[in-house]
């Protein structure tokens, strides 16, 4: 079990609230994509247990749901989901309440040993083209459709394209690689992406509206607004 180490933590045996908050935001949320209600419940449980220097709490469903201003059924569902993620463990369920053990984000198994956080921090420097598993994040970002023509991509018939070709100085960052179908990949060649989209428009592969949307997506991509979601890393083994 890794315990957060700060001067305050050593002195009082309690982890720093700021660090726990950051771990929830930077590790728990991107890894598990919890519902808002789960976040509310988890944060309150952390505050009343670990940040208060203890590991468990006994609380009734009714009282806790009233304190959080959520319904009992929402609270019950949040417990189930948090328990399935390993964020809490319910030891007893009874009329007097639930006895709940609460884990810090750093103590939850499967949170990726910081991989997700590290990748998020280094996102600008990542080569999404060379790493097979990271390509999946690009496919997921494109919702498994060709970035250019929009057709649905099959696993056996898909590729990655450099928006600005390597010969033109394009890199392999998330700002310059997109998922595409094999036809678009070969037809585009060394053409600038915007010109290629306009060709698709002139051949009615894209409607005028679709063309406008694709050009806007291209602009968003270049401006770094289409970061892949690292939530999709869950269940993926990231090759070194």
Query: Residue 45 in contact with residue 37, Cβ under 8 Å?
Result: no
Closer residue to Zn ion, CB minimum distance, 81 or 188: 188
The minimum distance between CB 125 and Zn ion, in angstroms, equals: 28
If DSSP codes are grouped into helix, strand and coil, which group holds residue 178? strand
Alpha helices in 49-108 (DSSP H): 61-68, 72-85
Closer residue to Zn ion, CB minimum distance, 146 or 218: 146
The minimum distance between CB 180 and Zn ion, in angstroms, equals: 5
First to last CA, the chain: 24
The minimum distance between CB 128 and Zn ion, in angstroms, equals: 19
The minimum distance between CB 150 and Zn ion, in angstroms, equals: 7
Q: Which residues contact 239 (CB under 8 A, 6 or more apart)?
A: 131, 132, 133
The minimum distance between CB 181 and Zn ion, in angstroms, equals: 4
Q: Can you give the length of the chain in residues? A: 240
Closer residue to Zn ion, CB minimum distance, 46 or 146: 146
Q: Which residues contact 81 (CB under 8 A, 6 or more apart)?
A: 34, 35, 38
Closer residue to Zn ion, CB minimum distance, 126 or 199: 199
Q: Which residues contact 186 (CB under 8 A, 6 or more apart)?
A: none
Closer residue to Zn ion, CB minimum distance, 158 or 175: 158
The minimum distance between CB 47 and Zn ion, in angstroms, equals: 50
**Strand ranges of the sheet holding 88-94, from the earlier edge strand across to the other edge:** 56-59, 97-102, 88-94
Closer residue to Zn ion, CB minimum distance, 100 or 149: 149
**Site residues (CB under 5 A) for Zn ion?**
146, 148-149, 181, 184
């Amino acid at each position: 079990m890794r315990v957060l180490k700060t001067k305050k933590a050593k002195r009082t045996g309690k982890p720093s609230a700021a660090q726990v908050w950051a771990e929830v935001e930077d590790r728990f949320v991107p890894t598990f994509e919890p519902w808002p209600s789960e976040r509310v419940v988890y944060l309150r449980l952390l505050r009343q247990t670990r940040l208060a220097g203890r590991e468990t709490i006994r609380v009734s469903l009714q009282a806790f749901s009233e304190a959080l201003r959520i319904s009992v059924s929402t609270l019950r569902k949040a417990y189930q989901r948090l328990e399935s993620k390993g964020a809490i463990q319910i030891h007893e369920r009874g009329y007097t309440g639930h006895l709940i053990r609460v884990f810090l984000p750093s103590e939850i198994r499967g949170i990726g040993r910081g991989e997700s956080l590290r990748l998020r921090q280094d996102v600008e420097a990542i080569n999404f083209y060379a790493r097979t598993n990271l390509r999946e994040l690009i496919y997921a970002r494109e919702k498994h459709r060709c970035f250019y023509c929009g057709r649905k991509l099959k696993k056996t018939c898909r590729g990655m394209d450099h928006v600005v070709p390597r010969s033109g100085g394009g890199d392999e960052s998330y700002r310059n690689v997109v998922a595409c179908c094999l036809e678009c990949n070969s037809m585009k060649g060394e053409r600038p992406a915007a010109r290629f989209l306009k060709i698709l428009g002139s051949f009615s592969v894209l409607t005028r509206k679709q063309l406008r949307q694709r050009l806007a997506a291209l602009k968003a991509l270049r401006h770094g607004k289409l970061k892949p979601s690292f939530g999709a890393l869950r269940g993926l083994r990231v090759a070194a």
